[in-house]
Amino acid sequence: MRARIMVGDCRDSMATLEAESVDAVVCDPPYELGFMGRKWDASGIAYDLEVWREALRVLKPGGHMLAFSGSRTYHRMACAIEDAGFDVRDQIMWLYGSGFPKSLDVSKAIDKAAGVAFESRPASGVGFMGPDGPGGYNVTKNQLSRTGESTDDARRWCGWGTALKPAHEPICMARKPLVGTVAANVLRYGTGAINVDGCRVGGGEVRRMAGDKERPKSQSIGAFAGVEPYDTTAVRWPANVLHDGSDEATEGLRDAARYFYTAKASGEDRDEMLGDVPKNVHPTVKPTDLMRYLVRMVTPPGGLVLDPFTGSGSTGRAAMLESMRFVGCELSPEYAEIARARIRFTLGPLFAHLVE
């Protein structure tokens, strides 16, 4: 099998895997923010030591894990990962231009408390929740506008809110403790290092692994030496900052934007390659280019990638595109079927039977 998705609680599913059988873990756990009212995003599983202990158990010594989180809840997940026995190696910042602030309009809240009349109308996209707060109207659905006379107190607090616009998500980079030195661990298990040349950024002279034959300059930088020789004109060392290439992200970075990897999400990224499944209904789909880059960074040639929170299968799809193998866990049967469809379509009809 090239890819397998197990339906059920990830703690139970990972318990069925052999110890030290996985080369890397790349995952996007719940951020524990109650996103769009989803219960799965407020269960506390991202903070559960048992999850990360199981991930540690199935990883080979020196195996890396990359785990996304939210800017407000990252610290609790990272502490759980560390307490489970991982060595936290770094934090990667994923910068993006999309998203809106889930902010309370303080002025409207004051007026509503004072009995001022409001009416509901379709959202205009300004990114404010109504005065009822998290349990009330959200700009993604409705927006409240005053129909009554505003109070003096409300006018004094006009323009004040309670949240910043989200523009980054942190990724915890952790590693299972080595057996001996890095060199010894790499030679014994194939894990313990990151693929620097396969993840370089920018342009310059062609780089070629020693002994590789001449290749066209269009060869993908994602191919590994030993699996398929590769060329790349990228020369800059991979950094712990990534971005989506949006104006919001690049304007903030200015000229430095070119030093960081750009993973752009296409408009078809969410729904492409679904086959017979009509629509990808998962609300938090990561760009395929981003997941390919992360999988490539921490997985040895032909290695096995684990995602305990598979969702719609972006990590699995990335693993297929990077000539890896994949095993995923997903609580929702609906999302699991979407993931299988995307992965099968990625492999193509000749190899779709290799997805379980």
Q: Are residues 317 and 248 in the same domain?
A: yes
Q: Does 356 fall in a domain?
A: no
227 and 302 Cβ atoms separated by less than 8 Å: yes
For the stretch 273-301, pLDDT in tens is 555 665 655 456 788 889 999 999 999 99
Q: Are residues 181 and 215 in the same domain?
A: no
Dmax (CA) of the chain: 78
Domain residues for the domain of 125 are 103-156
Q: Does 225 fall in a domain?
A: yes
Q: Does 144 fall in a domain?
A: yes
Residue 53 has pLDDT above 90, yes or no: yes
Q: Are residues 136 and 217 in the same domain?
A: no
Q: Are residues 16 and 89 in the same domain?
A: yes
pLDDT at 319: 96
Q: Does 355 fall in a domain?
A: no
Of residues 244 and 227, more confidence is placed in 244
pLDDT above 70 coverage of the chain, percent: 79
- The dihedral built from the CA positions of residue 174, 178, 181 and 182, taken in this order, carries a sign that is negative
Q: Are residues 152 and 81 in the same domain?
A: no
Domain end call among 183, 216, 235: 235
Q: Are residues 283 and 134 in the same domain?
A: no
Q: Are residues 178 and 207 in the same domain?
A: no
Residue 61 has pLDDT above 70, yes or no: yes
pLDDT at 42: 81
Q: Give the mean pLDDT of the chain.
A: 82
User: What phi-psi label fits residue 133: left (phi over 0), alpha (psi between -120 and 50 degrees) or beta?
Assistant: left
CA dist 127 → 15, 104, 112, 124, 193 (Å):
42, 9, 18, 8, 42
For the stretch 140-194, pLDDT in tens is 445 788 888 999 999 999 999 999 988 999 999 999 999 999 999 999 999 999 9
Q: Does 161 fall in a domain?
A: no
pLDDT at 269: 64
Residue 126 has pLDDT above 70, yes or no: no
273 and 247 Cβ atoms separated by less than 8 Å: no
Q: Does 92 fall in a domain?
A: yes
Q: Are residues 28 and 172 in the same domain?
A: yes
Q: Are residues 173 and 317 in the same domain?
A: yes
242: which strand partners? 94, 261
- Could you tell me the pLDDT band of residue 132, with boundaries at 50, 70 and 90? very low
Contacts of 12 (CB under 8 A, 6+ apart): none
- Could you tell me the pLDDT band of residue 88, with boundaries at 50, 70 and 90? very high
Q: Does 293 fall in a domain?
A: yes
pLDDT at 257: 85
Question: Considering the entire predicted model, what is its pTM?
Answer: 0.83
Q: Are residues 136 and 212 in the same domain?
A: no
pLDDT at 100: 78
Number of domains in the chain: 3
Q: Does 68 fall in a domain?
A: yes
- Work out the average pLDDT over 336-347: 91
Contacts of 267 (CB under 8 A, 6+ apart): none
- Could you tell me the pLDDT band of residue 209, with boundaries at 50, 70 and 90? very low
Q: What is the CATH number of the domain that holds 333?
A: 3.40.50.150
Q: Are residues 244 and 312 in the same domain?
A: yes
- Work out the average pLDDT over 128-133: 39
Q: Are residues 13 and 90 in the same domain?
A: yes
pLDDT at 268: 59
